[in-house]
């Protein structure tokens, strides 16, 4: 049974093709060790298979769910250790993982934040996450990038014996490593240039946990909302700019705020959505993306804060208001919140996220701000507002079109 099939895969990084017409097939029970010099494309191959890196051409067929251990870890430091194991188990389609933390000597840190772990324990948890699907009772494949890096000798021994045992149960592995100790659990050594050498494993199966299968599911929204509560990110990223800008405008202008009245709402709407913010730490979002999740999740607290902020601002500045209209004025800014999130999501999916100019698209979102501002001109002289509905519909439609349309610009990956 083929758990992974790569056909004519070509991946460009910068000005050259790191991989060109690469082909590979991994059957159940195989363990392929990728070898090659630094920069030869081992990590690129794993991440393109996982659907993280954009590709030029080719196709990848991989049995899902699969395991993934990134070299950078892929764990957010504000998560709890047992939470991360739970999320990984759900994504892997297994349940009742009692004893797994003890097996990896992490049980005593189960209630700690990941950011409080030492480098070795952090790496141990990242490898455990990558192996998770193989602890189930259905054949799975695990992609491991330098899994022994940073592990102590006892943890490397656990890794080797578990791989040997899980192979015997029908699971498969694709491992990029410079560590010759891992060659002992391999069925073949594959140079990144395509030359393969069959080998015989020197390790005997031992004991490794095995758990019953369940339906795989992603809990990305719950992951993000838990981190929101723990870090207070929606309040920090939206509430602080909102209140700060209101106070600054009041100090400078008093009741003569005029056409600047919607600026605080705009500043509350424009920051990156919280799920994208959380996903940037140690590439934790790349793990979720590889599992098939979309990093863009809507935060109800941010929606509420943006929706009421025009009414709040008008109240502070003593402007007579029709509450329904002033709440409705928040709708274009909900659209700006969604469009801004889509722009940041697109930037994160580009080949080099730190070097993109995609966020400059956010300047387009000033347009609905200006339209919304025009719709309430009659409200700014302490009289009742005239009918603003047509302008509000137009101002809301523009960012919603951006929100719906930007996904067509996302780069193609091997997984889609």
Model pLDDT for residues 110-147, shown as the tens digit of each residue: 999 999 999 999 999 999 999 999 999 999 999 999 99
- Write the CB contacts of 177 (distance below 8 Å, at least 6 apart in sequence): 33, 34, 35, 144, 146, 147, 148, 149
Considering only 99-103, 205-209, 219-223, 372-376, which range has the smallest mean pLDDT?
372-376
Handedness of CA 286, 291, 294, 300 (dihedral sign): negative
Let me know if 200 is exposed, middle or buried by CB neighbors in 10 A (0-12, 13-18, 19+).
exposed
Provide the pLDDT for residue 95: 86
pTM of the model: 0.91
DSSP states along 70-102:
-TT----TTSBHHHHHHHHHHHHTB---TTHHH
> CB 403: neighbour CB atoms within 10 A?
20
* Tens-digit pLDDT profile for residues 241-273: 999 999 999 999 887 887 789 999 999 999 999
At 361 the pLDDT is 77
The 10s digit of each residue's pLDDT in 89-101 is: 999 999 889 899 9
Q: Give domain limits for the chain.
A: 2-198, 220-409
DSSP string across 242-263: HHHHHHHHHHHHTT--GGGTTH
Are 338 and 345 within 8 A, CB to CB?
A: no
Q: Which of 43-57, 242-256, 341-355 is least confident?
A: 341-355
Rounded to an integer, what distance in angstroms lies between the CA atom of residue 372 and that of residue 395? 6
> Residue 416 has what pLDDT?
59
Each residue of 199-219: pLDDT tens digit? 888 788 888 999 998 899 999
pLDDT score for 354? 57
Report the alpha-carbon distance of residue 40 to residue 85 in Å, rounded: 32
Give the N- to C-terminal CA distance of the chain in Å, as an integer: 22
More confident residue, 320 or 368: 368
Residue 37 burial (CB < 10 Å; 0-12/13-18/19+)? Answer: exposed
181 token code pair: 């100790």
Residue 42, pLDDT > 60, answer: yes
What is the SS3 assignment for 296?
coil
Question: Mind listing the pLDDT tens digit for each residue in 291-321?
Answer: 999 899 999 999 999 999 999 998 998 887 6
Closest CA to 334 of 407, 261, 231, 403: 403
Tokens of 284: 């934790």
Residue given tokens 């730490």 in the structure block: 281
Task: Identify which of 188, 208, 210 has the alpha carbon closest to the alpha carbon of residue 97.
Answer: 210
Contact (CB, 8 A) for 107 and 213: no
Contact 224, 301 (CB under 8 A): no
- The residue whose two tokens read 């799975």 is 140
| Torsions phi, psi for 2 (to 5 deg) | -80, 120
Mean of the per-residue pLDDT values of the chain: 91
Pick the CATH number of 2-198 from 1.10.10.10, 3.40.50.300, 3.50.50.60, 3.40.640.10: 3.40.50.300
């Amino acid at each position: 049974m083929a758990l992974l099939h790569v056909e004519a895969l070509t991946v460009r990084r910068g000005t050259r093709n790191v991989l060109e017409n690469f082909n590979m097939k991994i059957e159940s029970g195989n363990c392929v060790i990728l070898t090659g010099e630094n920069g030869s494309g081992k990590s690129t191959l794993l991440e393109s298979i996982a659907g993280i890196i954009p590709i030029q051409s080719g196709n990848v067929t991989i049995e899902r769910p699969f395991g993934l251990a990134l070299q950078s870890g892929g764990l957010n430091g504000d998560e709890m250790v047992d939470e991360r194991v739970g999320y990984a188990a759900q994504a892997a389609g297994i349940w009742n993982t009692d004893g797994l933390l003890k097996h990896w000597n992490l049980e005593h840190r189960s209630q700690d934040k990941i950011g409080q772990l030492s480098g070795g324990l952090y790496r141990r948890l990242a490898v455990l996450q990558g192996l998770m699907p193989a602890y189930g009772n259905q054949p799975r494949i695990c992609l491991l990038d330098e899994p022994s890096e940073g592990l102590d000798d006892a943890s490397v021994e656990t890794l080797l014996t578990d791989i040997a045992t899980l192979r015997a149960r029908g699971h498969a592995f694709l491992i990029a490593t410079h560590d010759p100790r891992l060659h002992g659990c391999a069925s073949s050594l594959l140079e990144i240039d395509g030359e393969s050498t069959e080998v015989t494993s020197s390790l005997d199966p031992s004991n490794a946990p095995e758990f019953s299968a369940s339906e795989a599911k992603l809990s990305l929204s719950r992951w993000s909302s838990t981190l929101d509560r723990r870090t207070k990110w929606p309040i920090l990223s939206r509430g602080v700019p909102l209140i700060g800008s209101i106070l600054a405008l009041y100090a400078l202008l008093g009741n003569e705020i005029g056409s600047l009245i919607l600026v605080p709402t705009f500043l509350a709407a424009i920051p990156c959505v919280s799920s994208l913010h959380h996903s940037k730490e140690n590439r934790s979002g790349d793990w979720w993306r590889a599992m098939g999740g979309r990093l863009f999740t809507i935060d109800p607290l941010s929606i509420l804060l943006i929706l009421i902020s025009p009414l709040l601002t008008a109240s502070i500045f003593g402007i007579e208001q029709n509450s329904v209209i002033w709440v409705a004025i928040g709708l274009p800014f909900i659209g700006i919140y969604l469009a801004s999130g889509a722009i940041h999501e697109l930037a994160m999916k580009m080949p080099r996220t730190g070097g993109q100019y995609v966020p400059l698209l956010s300047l387009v979102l000033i347009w609905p701000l200006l339209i919304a501002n025009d719709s309430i001109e009659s409200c700014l002289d302490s009289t009742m507002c005239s009918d603003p509905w047509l302008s509000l519909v137009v101002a809301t439609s523009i960012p919603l079109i951006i929100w719906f349309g930007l996904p067509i610009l996302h780069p193609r990956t091997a997984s889609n």
